[in-house]
Amino acid sequence: MLIVLKKTATKKQADHILAEIKKLKLKPVVSKGVEKTVIGVIGDEAKLRTKPLEVFAGVERVIDVQTPFKMVSREDHRQTSEIKLGKNLTIGGKEIVVMAGPCTVENKKRLLSLAHSVKESGATVLRGGAFKPRTSPYDFQGLGETGLKYLKAAKKETGLLVVTEMMDVRDLPLFEKYADIIQIGARNMQNYNLLKEVGKSKKPVLLKRGMANTIKDFLMAAEYIYSQGNHSVILCERGIRTFETSTRFSLDIGSVPVLKSETHLPVVIDPSHPAGKRKYVAALAKAGIAAGADGIIVEVHDNPEEAVCDGPQALLPDMFETLMTDLRKIAQAIGRSL
Amino acid sequence: MLIVLKKTATKKQADHILAEIKKLKLKPVVSKGVEKTVIGVIGDEAKLRTKPLEVFAGVERVIDVQTPFKMVSREDHRQTSEIKLGKNLTIGGKEIVVMAGPCTVENKKRLLSLAHSVKESGATVLRGGAFKPRTSPYDFQGLGETGLKYLKAAKKETGLLVVTEMMDVRDLPLFEKYADIIQIGARNMQNYNLLKEVGKSKKPVLLKRGMANTIKDFLMAAEYIYSQGNHSVILCERGIRTFETSTRFSLDIGSVPVLKSETHLPVVIDPSHPAGKRKYVAALAKAGIAAGADGIIVEVHDNPEEAVCDGPQALLPDMFETLMTDLRKIAQAIGRSL
Amino acid sequence: MLIVLKKTATKKQADHILAEIKKLKLKPVVSKGVEKTVIGVIGDEAKLRTKPLEVFAGVERVIDVQTPFKMVSREDHRQTSEIKLGKNLTIGGKEIVVMAGPCTVENKKRLLSLAHSVKESGATVLRGGAFKPRTSPYDFQGLGETGLKYLKAAKKETGLLVVTEMMDVRDLPLFEKYADIIQIGARNMQNYNLLKEVGKSKKPVLLKRGMANTIKDFLMAAEYIYSQGNHSVILCERGIRTFETSTRFSLDIGSVPVLKSETHLPVVIDPSHPAGKRKYVAALAKAGIAAGADGIIVEVHDNPEEAVCDGPQALLPDMFETLMTDLRKIAQAIGRSL
Amino acid sequence: MLIVLKKTATKKQADHILAEIKKLKLKPVVSKGVEKTVIGVIGDEAKLRTKPLEVFAGVERVIDVQTPFKMVSREDHRQTSEIKLGKNLTIGGKEIVVMAGPCTVENKKRLLSLAHSVKESGATVLRGGAFKPRTSPYDFQGLGETGLKYLKAAKKETGLLVVTEMMDVRDLPLFEKYADIIQIGARNMQNYNLLKEVGKSKKPVLLKRGMANTIKDFLMAAEYIYSQGNHSVILCERGIRTFETSTRFSLDIGSVPVLKSETHLPVVIDPSHPAGKRKYVAALAKAGIAAGADGIIVEVHDNPEEAVCDGPQALLPDMFETLMTDLRKIAQAIGRSL
């Protein structure tokens, strides 16, 4: 940690800060510059983080040198973690994982038909919401447990694993029973009690980045889950909020190389939500894979006119089939498989 | 609702859309333009919102004419709602309400001393967190129920009402017991289950705007609470995330006149979180009141060096005293009181 | 300047950096931390800024301690500069300056009538564009020199000073002749050649913040003008681009206290462009003054139905009159005059 | 154009608007809804754009149905324009164009050596700045005409075409003489006089998107150039400003499919500026090509320690060589060549 003092800081102020640092059994190193003095602190910064050093008289700025996330950091863990999703499926290795399915589970028949369809095209995980976070209280809120049962039924028929969103801290037992991967949605990325709850589970967690959260926030949220004992955390970039409105969100493609550089956790791209419109989805999916993502999670629907949510951004089954063919070629071009 | 067709839309596509509209017992009105055709829909748009019209072949764009929020809208409710907070205190009328106190309840002694201090300066509500949403899992997470008890004790001693944040759907009984106003934090603004939960309460709710949420999202979140039966909703602007980093967040001062124009709910400004630094807080508070806010919620601490959270942005008691004097003059200048 | 080395940095890499620092006659101070080493550099940082230290092997991060702007900084210039605008008018002192008028000069008659009107309400500077930056090439681009002549005529009749926008480096002689204050628009805030050009003038410059520019960028742009010899620079906050669309831009009200803390230059608020709609303008103007701005620049039009640009955000003369009355009271409440 | 009336609009107000529409020889179509009335306008919207309809009494909102950009729109021009850059080089066809070189022209020797190097790796256009827009007035501002001469010399030796940035309206003759492609930088995207100036040239223009400009703004800027008679406009996405700071800018990868859908102009990606750090550049370049871009423009430097600008984001020649190999495979995977 570096503490930059104001030009006007007095000796007394500096001494007070040095005393505080020593009280915490840390070692200060002072550099007196032409304009300003900087105090470097040697030792575990975490101790000092509980002290609001910015408020000490004479302090201009405090700069972290160590990263605040530890367990998910790549610093001491140079390989991407390969996380087991199911019997024969891992994520974070050479193989790219494709998760596909409807926004919401609408009814059993449609779900099964879609599950078969995406499986044939090459998906290995089925996505679908049973509990839906909807902007309007008047919109369809999901089938609840019934939806989870249909997902389980689809798994039984097709062998696809199931990823589905959990929104409520009280629902963990349900998800333990029905889901293979628990999704935490973007709107709940900083719902810390929910993070702690899934941190107690053994199920892999797909953590979506909040639409206004920095990559640092994102990794801190992952650290919440990880530090509770659940090390199977998968990060999902799904677009951030910017001033641009021609797409629903702005896919932060730069987050892929940044995450690959900062953390050992696998990274998945959701091209559907940032696209907002079906015609933009394939380009974003291809970009994500080319940039180095370990997987994608994409919405597919066979009759968008009847979709109860996010119809405009769902790929039609034949578009998905084409996309898979293209992704396979790109995966190969970059030395991966799909 | 207006449905703009693509230049290339066929008659068959148009007819299919018209048929769907009629099926829902709505009336379509067609305007054939030089370049494009527009279908206006007459009747309750809510019916059509369940149909993803954007996905229909031939459709270029769908435009809402009616607002999606109804109960919180000012359209049919022209006066600001005056909400009762306690025996002698309301918000939304002529009187400006000041809520002040520490970020977190740290211990009983300090809380009581601070409560007396802010009361003397003119605050009528005490703020303080017992459950804290912290970015890092390693940071202090709050005293929990003990913190709520201290707040209640401070109320007993000073007569100040208590506003404090609820983060977990399971905690409503606790908040019913100890709090006068339940705060929903920015990170939970779209935690819909939490919104529904406080919607069942009779306690006033202070709903903070999420850092990446539009004013429309904000009003939809308020509608969640309102539509559950709790009509005592107070909106709090606390800064949005932008590219500017010299302040912690960017206070969206424009949201004050927009909210005053769009909704009948009272509006409060939090100048502390956007400021991030103590020296910027007073300017934001004054701006908020001058822009028409019905109240402010501000952090005050008597020893920021020992604050366990947000020390840098807490006003010292004498700064708060000065601010109150200034706000009183501004309130008077704009025809309000404080 | 602080140079944080990577955990993996070798001694050889560190020595190479130390040698470079010494070559520039600067003094390095090394602090070896538990995790990382930090090199502090003592001396004039400007020398090192020409060296891209981030690229040196072993470097993780480079942190500026000194501000990159010097002449406009408040560090060694603690008082706000009071800039002379005309014979009896300065900005930056106790008196708040109000600049008002149409978006564009449309014709002589209307301009004169508006000039009289805003003067009667208390404005001391007339705004109006003769050269207009328009998003569309098909929109009205301004009257050019004729517009400048009308402004000069209005000045003659009313005694109002004239502020008007310069867009082209070739136009300085025209502005020297007709304008009292030269405005640099938001879209040209980083048109460095234009900044240099007005830097050679003796006329005060009203520099508008670019819609995506940080406060640091803004001050660097001011430094461009200042460092050319023109010290009469007035900063104008006019809203930044964010995800919020209910207003045209988001007025960054926090920039007022930040600028007051970082620079000695006077600060003006433009409430019209961020509002986008007339009904939001007054609230933003009042907020700006309450936050500590030294003036406002506001659009007024007596027949917005015929305005060739920005009609929706122009105040009607009677709204402007009411605003002035309100601002006068707020000015008084905060110890200033208007 | 659609004009939505307020719920409270009177018949008189509606009649006034209808009369105005008819005055312009346009045809209004009225749809009276349950809540609101909408007036559709049939005919050329451009006429009405000069009327600020939002300001008419009784109007709630005005919605454009036609796009404001015409000549660059894909609506009536379904194929991507293939633009001739040099004797044997076009952009917008099957072949992907790679432009590479240093941020700034520093000296002749280094430029020639770099030119040979990037050519060997497969670039066909040499980039390099002679006039540099620098945030600080104290930074190196470029070699000016001398720099242009060195670029011309490099072209002579290697056969590479030259793209270089023009910042000043007075410099067109210089660029006509030395450059093959004139670059308009992000900071000048809305410097309309500059756009008009290059619109008079016959040289292809590479127009960079401003960091806060929407795609619509971007296309309007292209329309400025195009409508002056210069139809050789190439669009370059180079990252937008968002709240994320781990990269220098956020590459808006979604702009690639949006631009491909909205305009017939070719699209190029600049992966260097958004990356900000060398290690992130390759991922962004690959993403851009996979998303459908027609080319990239990338910074390469053989001794970043001595680069006078943007050293941290310049690829080393061997990294560029590796990137080209990877891009070639991705190009092939998506049916293009490089």
What is the domain-level CATH number for residue A303?
A: 3.20.20.70
Q: Which two tokens stand for residue B25?
A: 């017992």
Length of chain B, in residues: 338
Interface list for chain A against chain D, based on CB atoms closer than 8 Å: 212, 214-216, 240, 242-247, 250-258, 260-262, 274-275, 279-280, 282-284, 286-292, 326, 329-330, 332-334
If phi > 0 it is left, if psi is from -120 to 50 it is alpha, else beta; for residue C317 that is alpha
Q: Which of A2, A36, A241 sits opposite C38 (nearest CB)?
A: A2
Please check whether residues D112 and D36 belong to one and the same domain: no
Q: Which of B33, B43, B242 sits opposite D42 (nearest CB)?
A: B33
pLDDT beyond 90 at A205: yes
Q: From the candidates C168, C171, C198, which should be mutated to test the interface with D, based on the most D CB atoms within 10 A?
A: C168
* Residue C229: DSSP 8-state: T
Span A214-232, mean pLDDT?
96
Rounded CA-CA distance C151/C114 in Å is 11
**pLDDT at position C224:** 94
Q: What are phi and psi of B42, to 5 degrees?
A: -105, 130
- Residue D4: pLDDT band (50, 70, 90) is confident
Q: Return the higher-pLDDT residue of A35 and A168.
A: A168
Best CA proximity match to C194, nearest among C230, C225, C219, C240: C225
Span C261-268, mean pLDDT?
97
Q: For chain C, what is the domain count?
A: 2
CATH number of residue B45's parent domain: 3.30.70.1140
Which residue type does D323 have? L
pLDDT tens-digit series, residues B216-269: 999 999 999 999 999 999 999 999 999 999 999 999 999 999 999 999 999 999
> SS3 of A298, please?
strand
- Residue A24: pLDDT band (50, 70, 90) is confident
**pLDDT at position D65:** 73
H/E stretch holding B145 reads helix B145-158
Give residue A20's domain range.
2-63
Within a domain: D224? yes
H/E stretch holding B7 reads none
In the C/D pair of chains, how many CB contacts fall below 8 A? 127
- Residue A138: pLDDT band (50, 70, 90) is confident
Please check whether residues B213 and B323 belong to one and the same domain: yes
Please check whether residues B56 and B98 belong to one and the same domain: no
Q: From the candidates B249, B253, B259, B263, which should be mutated to test the interface with C, based on the most C CB atoms within 10 A?
A: B253
> A179-183, A309-313, B87-91, C254-258: lowest mean pLDDT where?
A309-313
H/E stretch holding A147 reads helix A145-158
pLDDT tens-digit series, residues C9-49: 899 998 998 888 888 888 888 878 777 788 888 777 777 76
**pLDDT at position D215:** 97
Rounded CA-CA distance D105/D119 in Å is 16
Within a domain: C77? no
Within a domain: C78? no
Please check whether residues C56 and C95 belong to one and the same domain: no
Which residue type does D12 have? K
Q: Which residues of B touch D243 (CB under 8 A)?
A: 241-243
Q: Which of B212, B244, B332 sits opposite C252 (nearest CB)?
A: B244
Best CA proximity match to C306, nearest among C176, C145, C114, C116: C114
D10–chain A nearest CA distance, Å: 31
Please enumerate in sequence order all residues whose Cβ is within 8 A of that of C147, keeping only pairs 6 or more positions apart, or say none: C104, C105, C128, C129, C130, C131, C164
pLDDT tens-digit series, residues A31-89: 787 777 888 887 777 777 667 777 788 888 888 777 788 899 998 888 999 999 999 99
Within a domain: B69? no
Please check whether residues C157 and C28 belong to one and the same domain: no
Cβ C92 vs Cβ C83: under 8 Å: yes
The answer to whether the Cβ–Cβ distance between C135 and D190 falls below 8 Å is yes
Please check whether residues B58 and B115 belong to one and the same domain: no
A192–chain C nearest CA distance, Å: 25
C200–chain B nearest CA distance, Å: 30
B10–chain A nearest CA distance, Å: 17
ipTM at complex level: 0.93
Rounded CA-CA distance B293/A217 in Å is 30
Q: Return the higher-pLDDT residue of C253 and D304.
A: C253
Report the interhelical angle of D145-158 vs D108-121 (nearest 10°). Answer: 40
DSSP characters over D176-228: HHH-SEEEE-GGGTT-HHHHHHHHTSSS-EEEEPPTT--HHHHHHHHHHHHHT
* Residue A313: DSSP 8-state: G
- Residue D48: pLDDT band (50, 70, 90) is confident
Interface list for chain B against chain C, based on CB atoms closer than 8 Å: 212, 214-216, 240, 242-247, 250-258, 260-262, 274-275, 279-280, 282-284, 286-292, 326, 329-330, 332-334
D310–chain C nearest CA distance, Å: 8
Within a domain: B242? yes
Alpha helix locations (H) across B254-295? 255-262, 272-275, 278-291
pLDDT beyond 90 at C174: yes
Please enumerate in sequence order all residues whose Cβ is within 8 A of that of D137, keeping only pairs 6 or more positions apart, or say none: C192, C196, C220, C223, C224, C227, C228
* Residue A312: DSSP 8-state: G
Q: Strand (E) positions, chain A?
A: 2-5, 27-32, 37-42, 59-63, 83-86, 89-91, 97-101, 125-127, 161-165, 181-184, 205-208, 233-237, 267-269, 295-299
The answer to whether the Cβ–Cβ distance between C246 and B254 falls below 8 Å is yes
Cβ A298 vs Cβ A98: under 8 Å: yes
Q: What's the CA dihedral at B108, B111, B113, B117 to 10 degrees?
A: -170
Within a domain: D71? no
D5–chain A nearest CA distance, Å: 24
* Residue burial C90-112, b: 16+ Cβ < 10 Å; e: rest: bbbbebbbbbbbbbbbbebebbb
Best CA proximity match to A212, nearest among B241, C63, C144, C124: B241
Within a domain: B264? yes
Residue B241: other Cβ atoms inside 10 A:
25
Chains touching D (3+ CB pairs < 8 Å): A, B, C
Percent of chain D exceeding pLDDT 70 equals: 99
Q: From the candidates B211, B267, B286, which should be mutated to test the interface with C, based on the most C CB atoms within 10 A?
A: B286
> SS3 of B35, please?
coil
- Residue A242: pLDDT band (50, 70, 90) is very high
Average pLDDT over all residues of chain A: 92
Q: Which residues of D touch C52 (CB under 8 A)?
A: 304-305, 307, 309-312
Rounded CA-CA distance B233/B221 in Å is 10
Interface list for chain C against chain B, based on CB atoms closer than 8 Å: 212, 214-216, 240, 242-247, 250-258, 260-262, 274-275, 279-280, 282-284, 286-292, 326, 329-330, 332-334
Please check whether residues B125 and B222 belong to one and the same domain: yes
pLDDT tens-digit series, residues A59-70: 888 887 777 888
Best CA proximity match to A38, nearest among A1, A7, A74, A2: A2
Q: Which residues of D touch C188 (CB under 8 A)?
A: 190-191
Please check whether residues D101 and D37 belong to one and the same domain: no
H/E stretch holding D86 reads strand D83-86
- Residue D55: pLDDT band (50, 70, 90) is confident
Residue D325: other Cβ atoms inside 10 A:
11
Exposure of D225 in the CB half-sphere (CA atoms within 13 A): 31
Residue C161: other Cβ atoms inside 10 A:
23
The answer to whether the Cβ–Cβ distance between A244 and D252 falls below 8 Å is yes
Within a domain: B109? yes
Question: Could you list the pLDDT tens digit for every one of the 338 residues in chain B?
Answer: 788 888 888 999 989 988 888 888 888 888 787 777 888 887 777 777 667 777 788 888 888 777 788 899 998 888 999 999 999 999 999 999 999 999 999 999 999 999 999 999 999 999 999 998 888 888 888 999 999 999 999 999 999 999 999 999 999 999 999 999 999 999 999 999 999 999 999 999 999 999 999 999 999 999 999 999 999 999 999 999 999 999 999 999 999 999 999 999 999 999 999 999 999 999 999 999 999 999 999 999 998 777 777 788 999 999 999 999 999 999 999 999 99
* Residue burial B24-51, b: 16+ Cβ < 10 Å; e: rest: eebebbbbebeebbbbbbbbbbeebbeb
Please check whether residues C9 and C125 belong to one and the same domain: no
Rounded CA-CA distance C54/C17 in Å is 11
Please check whether residues C27 and C140 belong to one and the same domain: no
C336–chain B nearest CA distance, Å: 12
pLDDT beyond 80 at D116: yes
Rounded CA-CA distance B208/B186 in Å is 5
**pLDDT at position C136:** 83
**pLDDT at position B82:** 97
Please check whether residues B289 and B188 belong to one and the same domain: yes
Residue of B nearest to D35 (CA): B66
The answer to whether the Cβ–Cβ distance between B66 and D35 falls below 8 Å is yes
Please check whether residues B52 and B88 belong to one and the same domain: no
pLDDT beyond 90 at A130: yes
> SS3 of D78, please?
coil
Chains touching A (3+ CB pairs < 8 Å): B, C, D
Residue D12: other Cβ atoms inside 10 A:
9
Q: Which of C54, C56, C311 sits opposite D55 (nearest CB)?
A: C311
Average pLDDT over all residues of chain C: 92
Which residue type does A29 have? V
Rounded CA-CA distance C130/C140 in Å is 11
Q: Which of A36, A38, A40 sits opposite C33 (nearest CB)?
A: A40
- Residue A159: pLDDT band (50, 70, 90) is very high
